[in-house]
Amino acid sequence: MTKKILIVDDEPNIVISLEFLMKKEGFDVAVASDGEEALAKVASFEPDLVLLDVMMPKKSGFEVCEALRADPARAGLLVVMLTAKGRETEVAKGLAIGADAYVTKPFSTKDLVTRVKGMLGV
């Protein structure tokens, strides 16, 4: 069964690349452009992994992650935070509120794919 990935980012310029990349790698992909849409899409699309940007309008990535982790039904959902905030304090916060991985922009797409595949056991 194909694994499903939800890409959450308000910047179309990164979404386009990630969407293309993940589709090429054989994943089923959906896109959300802000925090609220992300929560709705998680409910409807039921992804296995979320690529979550931190700085977004309406709800930040941190808030979305906390909301997802508050729902025991979604315990198995993997969250990878993508962020332009590279300070150690923010990395620590991301991991502390339940992100499975924290990737700082700019990142190597190859590494990201390897990482995602590893997490999903593909």
Partner 1 sequence: MKAKHRFIIAVIVLGLLMTGPFVVTSALVWLDMREAERNMLTELLLSRLPVGTLMTLFGFVIGVLVLHKLFKHYVEGLLRMAETLRLMLGANRNFRVTPEGPPEVQQLAQAANDLAQQRDALMDDVDSQIARAKASVEEEKNRLAALMSELAQAVVVCNLDGRILLYNNRARLQFKALAQGPTSVAGGALIGLGRSIFSILEKSQIEHAREVIDQRLAGGKLPISTFTTTTRGGQLLRIQMVPVLAASVDNAARALTGYVLTVENITRSIEEEERRDRALHTLSQGSRSAIGNIRAAVANLIDYPDMEPELRERFLRVIDDEVAKRSLVIDQTMSQFSDSLKTRWPLEDILGIDIIAAAQRRIDDKLKLPTKTEEVDASLWIKADSFSLVFALVCLASKLQDHYEPRELRFRLTTNGKLAYLDLIWAGPAMSSETFYTWEMESMQVGSDTTPLTLRDVIDRHGGEIWYEREKAAHRAFFRFVLPVSTPEAEQVVEERHVTGRPEYYDFDLFKFEDKSIDLDRKLSDLTYTVFDTETTGLEPSNGDEIIQVGAARIVNGRLLRQETFDQLVDPEIPLKPEGIPIHGITEDMVRGQPNIDLVLPAFHEFCEDTVLIAHNAAFDMRFLQLKEERTGIRFTQPVLDTLLLSAVVHPNQESHKLDVILERLGITIGTRHNALEDALATGEVFLKLVKLLEDQGIVTVRQALEASEKTYFARVKY
Query: Which residues of the chain form contacts with partner 1 (CB under 8 A)?
Result: 11, 13-14, 16-18, 20-21, 24, 55, 82, 84-86, 104-110
CB closer to partner 1 out of 46 and 114: 114
Q: Which two tokens stand for residue 32?
A: 């959300």
| Shortest distance, position 46 Cβ to partner 1, whole Å | 26
How far apart (Å, rounded) are the C-alpha atoms in residues 39 and 95? 19
Q: Under DSSP, is residue 29 helix (H, G, I), strand (E, B) or coil? A: strand
CB closer to partner 1 out of 69 and 90: 90
Q: Are 103 and 95 in contact (CB under 8 A)?
A: no
CB closer to partner 1 out of 74 and 115: 115
CB closer to partner 1 out of 86 and 118: 86
Q: Are 83 and 94 in contact (CB under 8 A)?
A: yes
Q: Are 25 and 3 in contact (CB under 8 A)?
A: no
| Shortest distance, position 54 Cβ to partner 1, whole Å | 10
| Shortest distance, position 79 Cβ to partner 1, whole Å | 18
